[in-house]
A and B are shown apart, each in its own frame.
Chain A
């Protein structure tokens, strides 16, 4: 399967713990995106990488959130000191340059108790 993969698929954690998610994009895609989706809503943009450079961050990405994409391959999203409001589905997508069609992974569902 050459699609976008995400791990883990589910994560349950206690409030205050740190969590890290991984995204492996489609291999020839240089752009990688992170989104967050809560129940009944459309996904909301968090951050975007072009190769290894993080070019854009949403105001939703508080200082407890950090994302990396070393060597322009896989990416990690870390949430420190998790809060119950962080409970959501975290989605990763990748694309080539124009026309920037984005392909999504299956998501990581985070539950903060």
Chain B
């Protein structure tokens, strides 16, 4: 069964700092990987999708990379802002059609 792990579980950084969130998965036979943002008590907002044939995707200040062979992905956030404070979730699709989620990294950006 696919298992997804996110490290760290929580992270606090001062505003303006660049940061990296990590995601690892046990089964490298994935179709794609998605990064989401979740604000407290809210649904999930899709940030980036990386297909299995791709190595990275960029959107604004966000850059996500994928290394299928090692079962790892990173989400890089440049010049962090207080509005970036949220929980970031990594999820993969492999075999079945559903997403397997990690437990998330709770990010706090301190003004």
Mark A residues whose CB is within 8 Å of B.
4, 6, 31, 33, 35, 40-45, 48, 50, 55-56, 58, 91, 93, 98-107, 109
B71 at the A interface (CB under 8 A): no
Could you tell me if A42 and B32 are in contact, using CB atoms closer than 8 angstroms?
A: no
- Bound Cα distance from A55 to B93, whole angstroms: 16
Per the CB 8 Å criterion, the residue count for chain B at the interface is: 25
Chain B contact surface mostly: strand
Could you tell me if A42 and B4 are in contact, using CB atoms closer than 8 angstroms?
A: yes
- Bound Cα distance from A6 to B42, whole angstroms: 12
Q: How many Å from the CB of A4 to the closest CB on chain B?
A: 8
Could you tell me if A42 and B97 are in contact, using CB atoms closer than 8 angstroms?
A: no
Known: A40-B103, A42-B89. A104 touches B44 (CB 8 A): yes
Closest to B41 in A: A109
